[in-house]
Amino acid sequence: MTTAPATEENEGDLVVRREGSAGIIRLNRPKAINAMTLEMSLGIDAALDRFEADPAVAVVLLEGAGERGLCAGGDIRGLYQSSKAGGDLGKVFWRQEYVMNARIAKYPKPYVAFMDGLVMGGGVGLSAHGRHRVVTERTKLAMPEVGLGFFPDVGGTWLLSRAPGELGTYFGLTGQTMNGPDAIYARFGDAVVPSGKLAELRDVLTKVRPGTSSDEIASLIEGFATGETSGPVAALRPRIDKWFAFDRMQDILAALRQDGSDLALSTLKTLGEKSPRGMVVTLKLLRLARSASSLEHCLVREYRAALEVFRSDDFREGVRAAVIDKDRDPKWSPAAIEDVTMEMVAPYFAEIGADELVFDPAR
């Protein structure tokens, strides 16, 4: 087969090109660990349109520029500034992003994500809904949004609620990091490929024939994989399942206090740093996600909650403490789990009329 020359579409924050039979989407903000802007999200959508329509494209490959990671998440600074100014970037950005997350999950051609290095928040949404999720020994995957007064979005509640036992509850509430094998065990990844083999795997993917099935792509990837299926968190699962089995944050905290082990107390300390309101909202979203019939149902619920978060002092305070001033000392409102009332939480789950998230059945 003759390999077509690479054709450049855009050399900016997003690089879109065809290399042989592979449609390449490269996040290209390495200094920001490829944090995604609205413009990048729109560009990815356009690339998916183009590659879906191109019969010469056999597979789509998502990768990140630089050595630090695939994607650190969304452009938090931009969202913070818009929230402070009473703008609507949250409404526009998250609508675009969530619709794209659902599209990736249903994409008709094999979609391969190289989840090397840091993969957080919005980066999880771009990769973990894909058909072929390749992690490495350098992968550090996390959904740390509760530490920003937010919750695991981009379909994170769907993914986390389908992890074994209570691992999703644990990762969603604590924001703790998964390594590559952990991600396999938690069902966020499919194969561990050594980072030193990614270039070779990438080269092979550019040469697959159009019409190659997802099963054939999976077999090809497995030829480069280590075969690891679980990481350190698997050994902790019996304890995590016991501590995080409850539907109320107060009961989870009480179980950790009662256990009293070093791990339980360190987990308790981690939770003590998070937004109390964010944890209550997250736990409810995760429990509702367990009975959801589709990713889209979770995304609709997440969008309602996200718009409420965007208006909240907790979001602005969380971003200020973590990203703007970096003092790591957020002043949450309220400051204690016991003070989070049903009246405070209810607006996060209310229907939003004309602003509801809608999916195009043709995509």
Catalytic residue status for 145: yes
CA distance 33 to 130: 20
Of 75, 153, 166, 182, the active-site residue reads 153
CB 168 within 8 A of CB 286: yes
CB atoms inside a 10 Å sphere around CB 34: 29
Query: For 148, which DSSP code?
Result: G
Of 23, 122, 125, 156, the active-site residue reads 122
What are the CA-CA distances from residue 220 to residues 33, 78, 140, 193 (Å)? 28, 40, 24, 11
Query: For 231, which DSSP code?
Result: -
Written as six digits, the tokens of 167 are: 């691992």
Of 73, 74, 155, 318, the active-site residue reads 74
C-alpha 264 chain-centroid distance: 26
User: Which long-range contacts link 234-242 to residues 24+ away (Cβ below 8 Å)?
Assistant: 234/182, 234/185, 236/263, 237/164, 237/165, 237/166, 237/167, 239/263, 239/264, 240/165, 240/166, 240/167, 240/170, 241/165, 241/166
What are the CA-CA distances from residue 11 to residues 27, 33, 40, 174, 290 (Å)? 10, 17, 12, 37, 41
CB 125 within 8 A of CB 133: no
Catalytic residue status for 247: no
Catalytic residue status for 153: yes
- Output the CA torsion sign for 354, 357, 359, 360: positive
- 204 burial via Cβ count (<10 Å: 0-12, 13-18, 19+): middle
Of 13, 19, 145, 317, the active-site residue reads 145
By annotation, the residues acting in catalysis are: 74, 122, 145, 153
